[in-house]
Amino acid sequence: MTKIKDRRTIRKYSDKPVDENLITRLLETSSRSATMGNMQLYSVVVSREPSIKSSLSPLHFNQPMINAPVVLTFCADFHRFSKWCEHRDASPGYSNFLSFLNAASDTLLFVQSFCTLAEEEGLGTCYLGTTLYNPEGIIDVLHLPRLTFPISTICVGWPDENPAQPDRLPIEGIIHKELYQDYSSSDIDRLYSLKESLAENKEFVRINGKSTLAQVFTDCRYTKKDNEMMSEGVLKALRRQGFL
């Protein structure tokens, strides 16, 4: 509990090597995570070679974290299970969107377990939210077969920084008892007051020429235009990989 409460995103790593056996052990333990029907609908590509990371880098907008000692691309994977079915005279029916969602859910459970265990070992991790922005490129670089799809990329290494923890909403803003209770204007003001009061967020507002922090998100960081464009890219890749 204490480690999770103290966790922070690490973007700078030391040159200390990350032992392959350690990563394997953490992944093996993480595979005990909950999984639909005990099917383990995920795979992970472990990248250490500079050439592979160099190919992945532009697909993650050249974020410097991609040069971490280890880069893990976690993939929803119905390919392996389907091949098993075919080899055992069974007819798999997993080329559909529901199967993708099931595999994606399995994958994210696996990812979170890995991150928690890695941080317990003292490793630093950084979640790259850009994985779904350029899925076709990642599919090409990592040679992902049909019925696989990149879901999450985690950079891993020994920390070379100790950044401040990012803010979080008050827990009462997340919990709904029995039924979903919609938020009033006063609820929104109260729940986001800390986030809006932080000096770094006020600076975001200033340098982007906006009047509110929300406008930084909607007009600069995660725009409707970009979201719609990248949504089309995800749908295209899902069709290519056989999930649509």
Question: What are the pLDDT digits (tens) for 172-194?
Answer: 999 999 999 999 999 999 999 99
Calculate mean pLDDT across residues 221-244: 97
How much is the mean pLDDT over the chain?
Answer: 97
| Inter-residue contact 241 to 144 (CB < 8 Å) | yes
Q: Given this model, what pLDDT does residue 5 score?
A: 86
3-state secondary structure the chain: CHHHHHCCCCCCECCCCCCHHHHHHHHHHHCCCCCHHHCCCEEEEEECCHHHHHHHHHHHCCCHHHHCCEEEEEEEECHHHHHHHHHCCCCCCCCCHHHHHHHHHHHHHHHHHHHHHHHHCCCEEEEECCCCCCHHHHHHHHCCCCCEEEEEEEEEECECCCCCCCCCCCHHHCCCCCCCCCCCHHHHHHHCHHHHHCHHHHHHHHHCCCCCHHHHHHHHHCCHHHHHHHHHHHHHHHHHCCCC
Calculate mean pLDDT across residues 148-154: 98
Is residue 69 pLDDT above 90, yes or no? yes
Is residue 78 pLDDT above 70, yes or no? yes
Distances (CA, A) of 63 to 122, 132, 143: 23, 15, 22
Q: What is the pLDDT of residues 202-219, one digit of tens each?
A: 999 999 999 999 999 999
Q: What is the pLDDT of residues 113-131, one digit of tens each?
A: 999 999 999 999 999 999 9
pLDDT-above-90 percentage for the chain: 97
Calculate mean pLDDT across residues 33-61: 98
Q: Given this model, what pLDDT does residue 126 score?
A: 98
Tokens at residue 124, please?
């630093």
The band of 4, judged by pLDDT with boundaries at 50, 70 and 90, is: confident
Instruction: Give this prediction's pTM.
Output: 0.95
Is residue 2 pLDDT above 70, yes or no? no
Q: What is the pLDDT of residues 37-46, one digit of tens each?
A: 999 999 999 9
Tokens at residue 26, please?
């953490």
Surface-to-core class of residue 173, CB atoms within 10 Å of its CB (0-12 exposed, 13-18 middle, 19+ buried) = middle
Q: Given this model, what pLDDT does residue 173 score?
A: 96
Nearest to 30 by CA among 91, 95, 109: 109
Distances (CA, A) of 52 to 19, 59, 111, 197: 19, 12, 21, 41
Tokens at residue 84, please?
């098993």
Calculate mean pLDDT across residues 140-151: 98
| Inter-residue contact 45 to 79 (CB < 8 Å) | no
